[in-house]
Chains A and B, each alone.
Chain A
């Protein structure tokens, strides 16, 4: 089973700042089968990216997914108030599909 380690656990930033979230896999993720989700309190996760860098419908262009192999990054260029949430990565190239433990982006 592929273990995904997200860092940092918590990111304290101000609106307008840049957020860089990391997702590292214990082994190479097949064909960049890596997705990112955003989850706000009391809500279901929302798909942001799949295939490491392909944006889901309606995702603002301040969000960017990148990476390959074992190292993947989610970047939010300028944080908006609605971006403060928990972000999860998921690999779906190897069975079973696994998630990282999440990175919380909180308001500083």
Chain B
């Protein structure tokens, strides 16, 4: 059974940093691209970042480009999102999502974690 478990969320002040993690199990982690998708409370979904199976290709939404870095550790079956210079508009549930292929582009998301809440507020 595919399981994706996010951690690292919490309350943080504007301008500070936070690192999210996703622990994956139930599938061959290094065969697939992985992504982060966020959802502000009561709002819709927004793709944030994606990384290919071997980390060669990464992509970011314009809204976070330059402030966020996605990475993965295939030896530990883990995905990470380093978020810097956080803004109030970054407040959202952050979901770890699995792509169906090794490439990071042109993909839908076939499995999702339960999400971790990031609240940016002073």
Contacts from A to B (Cβ < 8 Å): 30, 33, 35, 37, 43-47, 50, 56, 88, 90, 92-93, 95-102
Inter-chain contacts of A33 with B (CB < 8 A): 106, 108
Of chain A, the residue at the smallest CB distance from B107 is: A92
Q: A95 and B59 in contact (CB under 8 A), knowing A33-B106, A88-B44, A100-B44?
A: yes
Tell me how far the C-beta of B2 lies from the nearest C-beta in chain A, rounded to whole angstroms: 11
Set A43, A44, A92, A98: member contacting B108, Cβ < 8 A:
A92
Complex CA gap A102/B40 in Å reads: 13
Q: A35 and B108 in contact (CB under 8 A), knowing A96-B61, A96-B62?
A: yes
Complex CA gap A101/B44 in Å reads: 5
What string of 1s and 0s marks CB contacts (under 8 Å) between B84-122 and chain A?
000000000001000010000111111111110000000
Tell me how far the C-beta of A92 lies from the nearest C-beta in chain B, rounded to whole angstroms: 5
A-B contact sample (5 more), CB < 8 A, given A33-B108, A99-B47? A30-B106, A35-B108, A35-B109, A50-B100, A97-B107
6 tightest A-B CB contacts, nearest first: A35-B108, A44-B112, A99-B45, A50-B108, A97-B47, A101-B44
Of chain B, the residue at the smallest CB distance from A4 is: B44
Is A102 in contact with B44, judged by CB distance below 8 angstroms? yes
Complex A-B: 11 CB contacts under 8 Å:
A35-B109, A44-B95, A44-B112, A45-B95, A47-B110, A95-B106, A98-B47, A99-B44, A100-B44, A101-B44, A102-B45
Within 8 A of A (CB), among B31-78: 44-47, 59, 61-62
Chain B: interface residue total (CB-CB under 8 A): 20
Is A90 in contact with B106, judged by CB distance below 8 angstroms? no
Q: A46 and B108 in contact (CB under 8 A), knowing A96-B62, A101-B44?
A: no
Inter-chain contacts of B113 with A (CB < 8 A): 44
Is B61 in contact with A90, judged by CB distance below 8 angstroms? no
Of chain B, the residue at the smallest CB distance from A30 is: B106
Inter-chain contacts of B111 with A (CB < 8 A): 47
Tell me how far the C-beta of B79 lies from the nearest C-beta in chain A, rounded to whole angstroms: 15
